[in-house]
Amino acid sequence: MKKFFPLFVLPMFLSVLLQSGVYAQGSADYGAGLKVSLNPEGSKYVRVLLWNQMWMRSIQNNPGTLVNGEQANSTFDIGARRLRALAYAQITPRYLVLAHVGINNQTFLNGGAAGTTGTGGYGAGKKPGLFFHDIWSEYAVIPALNPETKKANKSSLSIGAGLHYWWGISRMTSASTLNFLAIDAPIFNWPLIENSDQFARMFGLYAKGKLGKLDYRINMNKPFATKLAALEGTAVDNNGQSKMSYGGYGMYQFLDQESNLLPFTVGSYVGTKRVFNIGAGFYHQSEGTKSLQNGSSKNHDITLLSADVFADMPIGDKKSNAAVTAYSVYYNYNFGPNYLRNIGIMNVGTANPDFGGARALAGAGNSRPMIGTGSIWYTQAGFLLPKDPTKEKVKMRVQPFAAYTMKKFEALDKAGNYFDFGTNFLLDGHHAKITLQYSTRPIYTAKDNINGTKGELLIQFQTYL
């Protein structure tokens, strides 16, 4: 507990000191943001978004971890989870173009430019390469807003192409990174992350729109090539000249209707909408993985399915502006026999070859079994505490939350339970917030043995404009 003490003190201090903020994602001070109108009516415009998410962490490392060549049972660090810029332009009611660039996961030790090691101007972890996350163009076959009457159409349809984020398979697969309820996405919501996609994006074609209260998106993409060495009885990412993939996601919106101008779904509306949605999605790619069966190579299809429910409801009177947010999703993943990926976010640990104890199957640092053939159930819930009516000028809001994950993978005999607990200190809605979260992960030392848990305490500082 002593190793976590410095991180516990900071949010307690901030909760007393920072008694200012606002009540919504779309801050009253923020308005339309960095938006430049190109005509008097404002129907032609360019909008720019800038954001950063800095993480401070205290990590209990997996057994047998080295950090920069030294044995490390725990690690304290500060790094950049995301540094991003996004711009899109609506020149006519029918044409939209978007570009999104940035970097991710830069630490004191890794995440830097390719080949950076050692010390100096291009030492370990320095000067990461900026890259496109998204770049696409789309045409509105049936615009969401009737260009003649200026009223919303009951149905809409747009088609687009590029490196895009419109591919489903759940609400959280298309999540905005700006307004999470928890500190971040659980990562397995992006089941192909950084293997056959580029940071959860692919080159392809998509169609999106609405049919009454049904919001939908479908796609046809070309997965990036993968070529891991085939293993006996275990599927790995090896798609050769990759086959096309097909997918989609639809959600029925019972109450307030959410915008689908952009693909990024909201994690918490902070008491500004009444939303209740149910959704389902799928992804399929033929021969996306490969294994050896009795020494012979065999291809396997990738088929991913999901079903989810999302609710965000103000409760009580308008002055208190309290709200509950809840999301639950079930994933059924089939990548082929015994497929398993171990991932640690901003992982600075490497394996100690001289370690004599029981090693974690997932590897060093904060790595864990993340994605695999099998099922995952994830649920999160949060409560936006009511305002104090005697302190109308106090703008900061407090939103405690919790999340639970159950993973049952074919490659592991025991199901894993994962827990997250935290609080958002919303200084200016999601535009300026500080998030504290403590997470636990089981430590597999064999496919049929879990040897306790390890913890990770994080603080995120987020600002976006």
Residue position matching structure tokens 């923020």:
30
- Of 316 and 339, the one with more pLDDT: 339
Three-state secondary structure string covering 105-121 = EECCCCCCCCCCCCCCC
Looking at the chain, how many residues does it have? 465
User: Are 125 and 108 spatial neighbours (Cβ–Cβ below 8 Å)?
Assistant: yes
Residue 187 is predicted with a pLDDT of 98
Q: What is the mean pLDDT of residues 273-297?
A: 97
In what order do the strands lie in the sheet containing 65-67? 70-71, 65-67, 350-351
pLDDT the model gives residue 27: 65
The pLDDT value given to residue 25: 57
Lookup result for tokens 């059924």: 332
228: left (phi over 0), alpha (psi -120 to 50) or beta: beta
Q: Are 389 and 89 in contact (CB under 8 A)?
A: no
Query: Looking at residues 418-436, what average pLDDT do you find?
Result: 96
Bridge partners of 312?
A: 275, 325
Structure confidence by residue, pLDDT tens digits, 119-137 = 888 888 899 999 999 999 9
Give the Cβ contact number of residue 353 at 10 Å. Answer: 7
- Cα 202 from Cα 207, distance rounded (Å): 14
Q: How far apart are CA 27 and CA 431, in angstroms?
A: 7
**pLDDT (mean) for 437-461:** 97
Residue 6 sits at φ, ψ, to 5 deg, of -60, -35
| pLDDT tens by residue, 235-274 | 999 999 999 999 999 999 999 999 999 999 999 999 999 9
pLDDT digits (tens, 9 = 90+) for 200-236: 999 999 999 999 999 999 999 999 999 999 999 999 9
At residue 24, does pLDDT exceed 60?
no
Q: What percent of the chain has pLDDT over 70?
A: 94
- CA–chain centroid gap for 114, Å, is 24
| Residue 41 pLDDT exceeds 90 | no
Mean pLDDT of 18-40: 63
Q: Tokens at residue 385, please? A: 């505490």
**How would residue 22 be classed by pLDDT, with cut points 50, 70 and 90?**
very low
What's the pLDDT tens digit per position in 63-85?
999 999 999 999 999 999 999 99
**Integer Cα distance of 246 and 241 in angstroms:** 16
Structure tokens at 46: 């360019």
* DSSP-assigned beta bridge partners for residue 216: 209, 250
Mean pLDDT over the full length of the chain: 91
